[in-house]
A and B are shown apart, each in its own frame.
Chain A
Amino acid sequence: MELLCPAGSLPALKTAIDNGADAVYIGLKDDTNARHFAGLNFTDKKLDEASTYVHQHGKKLHIAINTFAHPDKFNRWQHAVDMAAQIGADALILADLAMLDYAAEKYPHIERHVSVQASATNLEAIKFYQRNFDVHRVVLPRVLSMHQVKQLSRVTPVPLEVFAFGSLCIMAEGRCYLSSYLTGESPNTVGACSPAKFVRWQQTEKGLESRLNNVLIDCHKQGENAGYPTLCKGRYFVNNTLYHPIEEPTSLNTIELLPELFAANIASVKIEGRQRSPAYVAQVTQVWRQAIDRYLANPNQFNAEKKWMETLGSVSEGTQTTLGAYHRKWQ
């Protein structure tokens, strides 16, 4: 099982490799990937350095080009694929059918991974990608229960990758327009959800208000943990009850499921967080490396260690974690 770690910068990439990642995934410094945040990602020169560092250590580099190509700027997405190929990417993480087609045609020797943003949740969708683009891996959206992941793993013709840890996207990825509904910009079109430029914080008599494009997402009383106003994690009223109708601010943590993920023959566990610091990458990579190695050394005695859970909890959104959709009751 591959441990696949995020890197939004060269220091984070090196940290991931140094702490035991088998592979790292990165994006270019533009809107061709789903973490298009200011100060993040790789320009031409840094890409070369990233590729060299990863390959010198015998590890793999995946490049995410997983937004959807704009019809009037189509060349930019093609260019991103070309650039990733030139610097020696081992895998391209793609969501747009047009880009999968382009990559399969032009660079058949580079692995094509179906991005989580492509929202492949079932056997027939996977067969579609395999038939048309001869894909090597499918990254599953965070909507399936563990039972469903197992069912799918028994029949899939393509190896599966799952999200193991990090911020929890509550919707089927790639099929959520909540962000553009409030701001005009979505992960699919600009590569960011609830973009930072629309965020406003304001201290008022009622508390600390967080707004996204002027829509009130939450109001935090003194002492309450005020997280980033991702719109699906806001507190709203339904029938006069104030709560988190969509999801609490929380992170996914599947470390307890590791034996089941092994049993389901999952090819890779992915850590979310290209937007996070090298310190986050270091801590999370270390814990997951230890957990995978511990399992491999003695599969029958595997237990999630308390200190792993504490470390992961401390770097989580809202400092709490959940098994998410893998755990049926959460749904």
Chain B
Amino acid sequence: MKYALGPLLYYWPKEKTEQFYSAACESSADIIYLGETVCTKRRELKVANWIDLAKQLSKTGKQIVISTLALLEAPSELNELRQYVENGDFVIEANDLAAVNLAYENNLPFVAGPALNCYNAYTLKLLHKQGMIRWCMPVELSRDWLNNVVNQLDTLGLKQRFEIEVFGYGYLPLAYSARCFTARSENRPKDQCGLCCINYPQGREVFSQEQQKVFVLNGIQTQSGYCYNLGNNLVEMKALVDIVRISPTSLETLNIIDQFRQNEEGKQPLDIESNRDCNGYWNGIAGLALQS
């Protein structure tokens, strides 16, 4: 099994981000995704900074992928996307079909990110033809669903023609909106957000009126309230999954990669109960559920 460090979903100061990625170099991750996937107003690192960072990190021998925005609306956002594609040195993770279109036009291989709607093998066949080399499954899909897709890929003669990645740890990106919920939580309109996301390095928690942690607000993105953790499902992933994605929330996340590695045979189970993590999606039930 290979492990990928997913793109940082939160807005951190430049220095902290750079520190995080120097530590990531020392981690046991095989693949590092980096880049802004949530909001273009987050400019602590600009396009050129991300590309420089990618160049630096690629010297470690790890595979570097530049992740791109999930919700593209303004022409300026498309221009930034174009810069990543035209740079051409790095595979990109497409989280919108705009990125697929540009990658195809530029003959650049791409990863189909979890925000692309790929629910069956026919869709994957189409994307594969456009240059997809890896598919990260939508977070709401289960082991059984994946199994069915793999069977379908087999009948299409496409099995093992591209890699399969599963989001295995972190707060799940569940939705994208025009509205910025972090700005709203500070009673600011989006156009005067004051880049307030930077004050919430792990997003803002949303609780039900019974104090159940239901969601995390991260700018225009809504995340799961509980941390997704498939650390105890690695044995059943063996025949299905090539890469497990670990989505960073802090420096400590880097240790999770080692914990996953140590439990690949199921011999050193992770404690998923104390923090009330969740793993429902993989088990084909409500995402927030926890099955031990």
Contacts and interface: CB of A to CB of B under 8 A. Distances in A.
Interface of A: 68-72, 74, 95-98, 101-102, 118-125, 127-129, 131-132, 142-145, 148, 151, 170-172, 174-178, 180-184, 186, 188-189, 213, 215-219, 232, 234-239, 242, 245-247, 325, 328-331
Nearest to B208: A216
Contacts of B75: 123, 151
B284 interface: yes
Contact of A181 (B179, B184, B287): B287
A218 B209 CA distance: 7
A171 B101 contact: no
A125 B98 contact: yes
B189 interface: yes
A238 B175 contact: no
A236 B281 CA distance: 23
A325 B28 CA distance: 43
B151 A180 contact: no
B209 A216 contact: yes
A119 B117 contact: yes
Looking at chain B's contact residues, the main secondary structure is mixed
Interface string B209-243: 11110110100001010000000000000000000
Closest 8 CB pairs of A and B: A124-B98, A98-B122, A68-B119, A143-B178, A181-B287, A325-B178, A71-B148, A128-B101
B71 A121 contact: yes
29 contacts: A68-B117, A71-B149, A71-B151, A74-B120, A96-B119, A98-B120, A121-B96, A129-B97, A143-B71, A143-B73, A144-B73, A144-B178, A148-B73, A148-B74, A171-B175, A171-B177, A175-B117, A177-B139, A177-B287, A182-B287, A186-B140, A216-B209, A235-B209, A236-B215, A237-B208, A245-B181, A245-B206, A328-B191, A331-B189
B216 to A, nearest CB: 10
Given A97-B126, A122-B72, A123-B75, A145 B178 contact: yes
B126 A132 contact: yes
Contacts of A98: 120, 122-123, 126
A182 B210 contact: no
B285 interface: yes
B23 interface: no
Nearest to A97: B123
Interface residues of B, number: 71
A62 B50 CA distance: 45
A182 B288 contact: yes
A180 B211 CA distance: 20
A237 B212 CA distance: 10
A96 B123 CA distance: 7
Contacts of B100: 128
Contacts of B281: 180-181
Contacts of A213: 286
B1 interface: no
A120 B286 CA distance: 27
A69 B209 CA distance: 36
B71 A180 contact: no
Residue among A71, A172, A218 having the largest count of chain B Cβ atoms under 10 Å: A71
Interface string B261-292: 00000000000000000001100111111000
Contact of A171 (B172, B212, B222, B280): B222
Interface string B135-172: 00011100001001101100000000000000000001
Contacts of B78: 122-124
B101 A188 contact: no
B195 interface: no
Nearest to A171: B175
Given A96-B123, A171-B177, A180 B209 contact: no
Contact of A96 (B120, B152, B285, B288): B120
Contacts of B210: 216
B175 A175 contact: yes
A113 to B, nearest CB: 16
B192 to A, nearest CB: 10
